[in-house]
Every structure is written in C-alpha cells, then in structure tokens.
Amino acid sequence: MKRLLCFSCFLAGFIGASTLQAATSEGKLSADYEKLSKEFDEKRQAYFKAYENAKTDQERENLPVKYPDSREYAKKLLAMAEQNPADPGALDALVWIVQNGGVYDRETGPKVLALLKEHHLQSEKLKDVCGRLAYGSLKESHDFLQTALEKNPHDDVKGAAALALGRRLLQDSSKNGAEAEKYFNLVIDKHGSKSQKKAARGELFELHHLAIGKVAPEIEGQDVDGDKFKLSDYRGKVVVLDFWGDW
C-alpha cells in the first residue's frame, strides 16, 4: 500500500491532478469501459427489440429508438483510453473500437493503432485487431501488422498478423501473389492456430487455382431437390458463378 501511495504521488506530480484518479486505480478505466460498452449493447438490443415489434414498413422506418452510433462511442472510448493508455481498460476500449469498425476511420484508426503499438504490443488481444486489419485502406495497418508479427509473443497473434499481411498484399495488387504466398506459408509452417492454417491454405489454393486465366475447378453437388449436377456440364457456355445467400 505504501508503495502504491508513493507511486501515485509521483504520478500525480508528473501528469497532473486531473488524471490522478485514472492513473492510480488499476480498475478505473476497466469500469468505465464496461459501462460504455454495456450502454452500447443495451441500446443496440433495444433497437433490435423495437424492430422486431414493429408491424409495418412505416413503423420500421420510424422506430422510437435509434441504432447507437458506434462512431460516437469510439470517440468516447478513445478519449478515455488516451487518459491512461497502458491501463487494461484502455486496451479493452481500443480493441472495442477496432471490432466496431473504428479502425477504418482515417481520424480514429491511426490513433488507435499507435496506442496499441506503444502500450499493448505484447497482448493476446491483438489477435482480433490483426484479423480486422486484413481489410481497409488505412496505410498504418501494414506497419502495425509487421510489428505485431515480429514482436508479439503469442503464436496466434503472429498467425493473424501474417495472414492479414498476405491478404492486404493481394488486395493491393494481383501481382503481389509471390510475396503474399510467403506470409501464408509462414502461417502454415511456423505460426498460427489450426483455423488460421486452414485459412492460409485456402488463400494459397485461391492463388494457385482460382486466379484469372486458370481453368475453374470442378463443382459437383446437388440442387435443393437433390438433383445432381456439375460445373463441367456447362462447358461451351459462358458461366456466371454466384455464391449467394438470402441475408
């Protein structure tokens, strides 16, 4: 307790009284984070409930409650995390922002990644962050993923980072195949969970067999009535393959 007190005195003098509370109690930001994320979830559930209860299209368009604005919550959570970025609650807040799309925002995204990189580079929770960074045009993503791949100690974070790096390369240009392949092989041979290895094998298969100019692999299966048919039945025709679902 004595040590904690001294520590807090030091911090109080160093960073100013306004952030004293945040800096001295470990759970402070965690509680703030829980409160905000819970509030968001409750608003979201209220929206879904209202939507389900609405009977007509008109009612659905004029629901009494709105879907909560994730950007607004991202801003609040970022401001909170910036108070004391090394706090575990700040980590949760930053991960929340990523999971809710805030990392694709040009203003929020770079700040979130910079804080995660500086204060939470060793965290297991970066797995999901890296996964999200496979997509989006944020240029800071590449550096973040490279750093996570090199310095994060967890195998599935490294796996997620390598997978995302490969996927980003392919999105940038179809000519990046060879380089992307190195990352996918890294996931298969060295890092990565079972599901990450499976995903990397899928990407390699797509690179080798589903590229423009390749003969499409055979598809054999049944329609909804159980009648069998195959793709090669349609040789001689121009074919559009449409992977679809009604959702």
Partner 1 sequence: MYPHERSLVKRLEGKPFALLGINSDPKDKLRQVLKKENITWRSWWDGGNTDGPIATAWNVSGWPTIYVLDHKGVIRYKGPREKALDKAVDTLLAELEKEK
**Smallest separation (angstroms) from partner 1 to the CB of 157:** 20
Give the nearer residue to partner 1 in terms of CB position, either 80 or 199: 199
Nearest Cα to Cα of residue 65 among 41, 35, 44: 44
Place of tokens 């509680």: 31
| 6 touches partner 1 by CB under 8 A | no
| 57 touches partner 1 by CB under 8 A | no
**Kind of pairing between the strands at 228-230 and 220-222:** antiparallel
Q: How far apart are CA 24 and CA 5, in angstroms?
A: 8
| 1 touches partner 1 by CB under 8 A | no
Cβ(202)–Cβ(210) below 8 Å: no
Binders of partner 1 among residues 192 to 221 (CB under 8 A) are: 202-203, 205-206, 210-217, 219, 221
**Smallest separation (angstroms) from partner 1 to the CB of 35:** 34
**Smallest separation (angstroms) from partner 1 to the CB of 234:** 5
Calculate the CA dihedral of residues 193, 195, 200, 205 and round it to 10 degrees.
Answer: 150
**Smallest separation (angstroms) from partner 1 to the CB of 218:** 9
**Smallest separation (angstroms) from partner 1 to the CB of 245:** 4
Q: What is the DSSP letter of 25?
A: -
Q: How far apart are CA 65 and CA 46, in angstroms?
A: 7
**Smallest separation (angstroms) from partner 1 to the CB of 225:** 9
| 231 touches partner 1 by CB under 8 A | yes
Buried b (16+ CB within 10 A) or exposed e, 27-61: ebbbebbeebbeebeeeeebbeebeeeeeeeeeee
Q: How far apart are the first and last CA of the chain?
A: 56
Give the nearer residue to partner 1 in terms of CB position, either 56 or 236: 236
Interface with partner 1 by CB under 8 A: which range of 28-36, 39-47, 141-149, 229-237?
229-237
| 175 touches partner 1 by CB under 8 A | no
Count of chain residues binding partner 1 (CB under 8 A): 34
| 240 touches partner 1 by CB under 8 A | yes
One of 1, 17, 178, 224 touching partner 1 (CB under 8 A)? 224
Indicate the length of the chain as a whole number. Answer: 247
By CB under 8 A, name the binding residues for partner 1: 202-203, 205-206, 210-217, 219, 221-224, 229, 231-232, 234-247
